[in-house]
Chains A and B, each alone.
Chain A
Amino acid sequence: MSVAANHTEARIAELKRSRPRSRFLRFSLGCFVALLVASWFVGDFAWRDAFSARRAENLDRFLGDMRPWPLREATPDGMVVKPWDWAVVADWTEERLEEGVSGLDTEGGTEAAIGTLAISVLAIVLAALGSLVFCWFAARNVATPQPFAPSAAPPGPLARWSWRVVVAGTRLVLIVLRALPEYIIAYLLMSMLGSPAWPAVLALAIHNTGILGRLNAETVENVERKPLVALRALGAGRAKIAVIGIWPAIMPRFLLYFFYRWETCVREATVLGILHLASLGWLIDEARSSGPKYDEMVFYILLGSLLVIGGDLVSAVARRLVRRAS
């Protein structure tokens, strides 16, 4: 190899050694990947048991039980399958939608679906209102001694620090609100509040206030500064700037996040009924624990799936409208 080639190679090696790289990013990625891989070795997943003949039998029985019950018959020799009949299936579907789980005094599927929807709507509206209370105190450009002041005398240390405490405190509150899963919050509230709807609504609202509060605070921090400084120069105070200057500017993004989170609220609301709160989850759980009637359980799960897909579509259309308008 020529001297020149050797030199080039050495230079490349040196450049590579001294290339800028982030320890923090590498460390984070390394930890994350290691955690994902290690989970399969550390966790006891009972592989042999998971693929035993017993499981296969169980699956067989489940698949049989998924068939609507008028289309099968239990006999001493086991289950006999009747031929598929759309008319029978249609009757059965109508019964599920109108009367609920067979043999039990539950509400019908349609009613439960609308109830699920109502829970999600009320929860997201409450969460949005909640987040609009918190987000100002978590945004560093608003929660500061002299917001948007062009060139004022520097504030004293006491004012500076007390505002910093306000921001940090609000952010801590928001993070605590969103740290716990909705299901656990609903479970805890359930035994304290009698009404079947409030625990579900509050649980969703609490969690989403935490999430929307942070997202909206970020949006507030990213609002263009210039017009707000001008407003300030005209003598507008903090609240006035927020209402006249910031709120119109953040509204498009506020709405986008609102619909994003509403989608997940619909999804979560289908499940919270398992705690015997007024949603589809209630019917799903009733079907599962009585019998079990797997055909009806699967039916209500699919009904919930339709509801969620519908919610996704509405949200996608709404978000597109917002984007077009802004």
Chain B
Amino acid sequence: MIMQGKASGFRLEGVTVRFGTTAALQDVDLTIEAGEAVALVGPSGAGKSTLLRLLNGMVRPDEGVVHVNGDTLGNLSRRALRDVRAAIGFVHQDLSLVPNLRVVQNVMAGRLGQQGLFASARSMLLPSKTATARAYEILERVGIAEKLYERTDTLSGGQQQRVALARALFQRPVALLADEPVSSVDPARARDTVELLTRVSREEGLTLVMSIHNLELARSCFPRLVGLRGGRVVFDARADGVGDDEFHALYDLDEAEMLADGA
């Protein structure tokens, strides 16, 4: 099921994002080729979430341009922006599922962006056999097919994580973005989840960009790592080229800054 040609590439040129007076990202240049798997690493507050939200048009750059698959996000109409979002799956840090809906409905919700109001009402309330079968198959791939009709809030945290992934896959995305998907999972599960995400993206030929706190995990699961600190790209390297120096560049300087602030 490789669809390499459909995958989406991203390009950021001189992007700055400000929230009030603080800059979340400063003058970032970054190119991610279609089908690539990239981990964003760095301390919290480094701008990883903001970068991810730039890539699917949930944040607007104050300066610079964002290209997604050749489209320039700033120029798009609202409808076209929604189309871009619909083509990109996003797995959130907090699971962001509707807790009192059934799993199948949460998965179906992934397709809202590709449907009109009435079609979406139908697929949420009386889904067709083919749509249900597809939801089932995706849940099977992520390993929780038997939960299809359970209430979402009765599932464990790890299982809900998979539902969120299934919802993203149900979009038939060309790229997958994941914002700290394992920050609240125990280490053993974390590796499982990250491996699941990389495996599925590889099999589907999706571009994968994931922000991740655990540098070790990132190094072993991703070919390319982008280090962010204070809203700037500190390094952008192949995983085997990221060593202690890069690690210190991310975290040690931070302490120095904190000391400076404290003084």
Contact = CB atoms under 8 A, between A and B. Distances in A.
Taking the complex as a whole, does A directly touch B, i.e. does some CB pair lie under 8 Å apart?
Answer: yes
Contacts, number: 25
Contacts of B154: 20
Interface string A74-110: 0000000000000000000000000000000000000
A19 B102 contact: yes
A3 interface: no
Nearest to B149: A19
Interface string A272-301: 000000000000000000000000000000
Which of B133, B145, B149, B154: most chain A Cβ within 10 A? B149
B137 A15 contact: no
A9 B151 CA distance: 20
Contacts of A12: 132-133, 136, 148
Interface residues of A, number: 10
14 contacts: A8-B136, A9-B129, A11-B136, A11-B145, A12-B132, A12-B133, A12-B148, A15-B149, A16-B148, A16-B149, A19-B149, A19-B150, A20-B149, A20-B151
B261 interface: no
Interface in B107-160: 129, 132-133, 136-137, 145-146, 148-151, 154
Query: Secondary structure of the B side of the interface?
Result: helix
B163 to A, nearest CB: 15
A5 interface: yes
Interface of A is mostly: helix
A8 to B, nearest CB: 6
Contact of B133 (A5, A16, A19, A20): A5
Contacts of B133: 5, 8-9, 12
Contacts of B148: 12, 15-16
Interface of A: 5, 8-9, 11-12, 15-16, 18-20
A5 B129 CA distance: 11
Given A19-B102, A20-B151, A8 B146 contact: no
Contacts of B150: 19-20
Nearest to B154: A20
Contacts of B137: 8
Nearest to B129: A9
A20 B133 CA distance: 20
B15 to A, nearest CB: 38
Nearest to B133: A8
Contacts of B145: 11
Which 4 pairs across A and B sit closest by C-beta, in order of nearness? Answer: A19-B149, A15-B148, A15-B149, A12-B136
